Structure 1
Amino acid sequence: MDSKITPIDRAALVRDLTNLGIVQGDLVMVHASLKAVGPVIGGPAQVVEALLEAIGPAGTLLAFVSWDRSPYEETLNGRTLSPREREDWPAFDPTRAGTYPGFGMLNAFIASHPNAYRSAHPDASMASIGRLAPMLVTEHELGQAYGPGSPLERFVAAAGCVLLLGAPLDAVTVLHYAEAVARIPGKRRVRYEMPILDAGGRKVWVPVDDFDSNGILDCYAVPGQSDAVERIARDYLGEKRHRTGRIGNADSYLLSAPDLVRYGIDWLERRHPSV
């Protein structure tokens, strides 16, 4: 930790969030870099509490948390695990599963909050706290990771907003919903398997077929190049339809999810029209 950086407290975070435009009753999907925010008195848990205080008891917090033991890569498009590996791999249990650290360590504190609800899709798991949390995440079937029927669809329908709290532009998960519903040809799909618990509490491996969130078209799946999510988000910010500010030490953005999704759908359909 840089000794020259003065730790901030929860009250300061709440003021920063309010100045950015978050109000009581808001539905907020957060993507955060704790490193960018800087040291916080009381640790990352106080960032979660500041977010909850800013939105109030009528508000709702949502985060994309995934799963640290997701076998997505190991079973992707025909890859296989050995019988022993399949036997030893844990089944996804939303009440105790870890979160994927690559999407930010704040997610672990959101998912483990005593009032959090967590969706049952292992790889695309969402965690939510607040008034709308049960509605948002209770239904999340395999094969509906980010598209119709997903928590993201309900988040957009409920006029949520996206908070980038020092996070990069490729982190805007709600744009995967725009990719899923945009009418463009040649969408990439992936097949993989997930271990879940059946009604009797036994582990079963379930095959999944869904849109490819790592590149909806071939041109957005080139290693080392920006995917569609990052390009759309960058162009959207260029339109100045968002609010900017600093949360702690992090440059932050507040975006309307419905407006961003409409923009993303139009962005994709104009560049890749159906024949």
Structure 2
Amino acid sequence: MKISAAATALALSVSFSAAQAETLNVGMSGGYFPFTFVKLDKLQGFEVDFVNAIAAETGDEVNFVTMSFSGLIGALEIGRIDTIANQITITPEREAKFAFSQAYVFDGAQVVVKAGNEDTIASVEDLSGKTVAVNLGSNFEQLLNELPNAGEIDIRTYESNIAQDTALGRVDAFVMDRVSSGQLIAESPLPLALAGKSFSQIRNALPFRNDDSGVELRNKIDAAIVTLKENGTLTEISEKWFGTDITVAE
């Protein structure tokens, strides 16, 4: 059977594309609804859809690696994973260590309290004398420590049960990003409520190791993010999970 030149060219193109495909090892906790969580034994969420959309643009395969949030940064540093998709906030300390993609989520830190206690914490000044929980390994502990009244706040770090302990009154409040807080309150049976307005705008991005290969990968991913923003895919993913576009700065 004679093979046409066009068919040969197509086969070579497919073969070349397959040869260029890489496996992108992406770390996430799998326990941060609605960004990354497991339901019916399936890993899903905003971050999962986002990374899969990136891979569709770059032609790479994705291997999601789940672990506790506090272990993600260390896994990236030793090369177990290539990046982290778990609402990693850009901070000066992290920028000094990692090569970040452009920001793809814009949010703010939010205080959450037991429902009925909203009036007790109208602003961050009201956190003085309070016990305030944050997730271990998150940037919210640093944000609280930078407040003028930080010395008057009893900051406690949690691996889990942060919302439950707040609802039970074991701590006065916890701090999380406003988008996640709103989703958590909407989905959880626990009596929780937002207290005051969000503070300290945060930008979330994908971190990569700050070496030649890490920067090269970051640049490739960045180009894909630009495409996803321009063609509306990123907005569609955001509206699917949040009903609004959290991917643009207010």
- Whether the TM-score (by the shorter chain) exceeds 0.5 is no
Which of these two proteins has the greater Rg computed from alpha carbons? 2
State TM-score, norm by structure 2.
0.29
The structure, 1 or 2, with the larger RCO (C-alpha pairs under 8 Å, 6+ apart) is: 2
| Greater percentage in strand | 2
Alignment TM-score, normalising by the size of structure 1:
0.27
Question: Hey, which of these two has a bigger chunk of helix by percent?
Answer: 2
